[in-house]
Structure 1
Amino acid sequence: MTPQQKRTLDYVRAYHAEHGRAPTMQEIADATGVKAKSQVSRQLNTLAEYGFLRRTNHFSGKYVPAEVPAVDLAHVPTETLRAELDRRQTESAR
């Protein structure tokens, strides 16, 4: 693993632990000193190939630490999902 890949992995892990979600490519670039998001994308793909990260889904292109368990939302009650969305909207309005 290169030093830049290590910085990227450490940042993704710390960000996810603090915020409960994956950072954007721009956030990763800003935090790790990378100028191009395409370079961040290559690093994320490589870290996923090595098994350190996994994609949350193919639409968003976000990556989370591999040790974070996947959540199957099909088994989460609708009311629980709505309550979480309401909580996040209230939190982001602050």
Structure 2
Amino acid sequence: MHYVIHAYDYTDEQALDRRMAARPNHFETARGLKANGNFVIGGALLDPEGRMIGSMMVVEFESEEQLQQWLQNDPYVTGRVWEKIDVKPFRPAAV
């Protein structure tokens, strides 16, 4: 099952510092997901000025339980980078 994740960062004054501190570990986790075939695409959500305000990812897991296990341990979750996380099932278009 594919899932699309839109995750929005906290907006307090330390939010960007927490993002940048957690970023190397978050990328390492994403590389592990990619190596396992779970990561499809992802990147930063930007505001009109080009500042990072969140993230978007498309991931693939066999079950929602596996998705939640990964998500609860992602450095952007444990490091209080993402405040609001919206996860929806996703069906890629067959073109």
Question: TM-score, normalized by length of structure 2?
Answer: 0.30
Question: Comparing both structures, which one devotes a greater share of its residues to strand?
Answer: 2
- Which structure carries more relative contact order (alpha carbon 8 Å, separation 6+)? 2
Q: Which has the larger radius of gyration?
A: 1
Question: Comparing both structures, which one devotes a greater share of its residues to helix?
Answer: 1
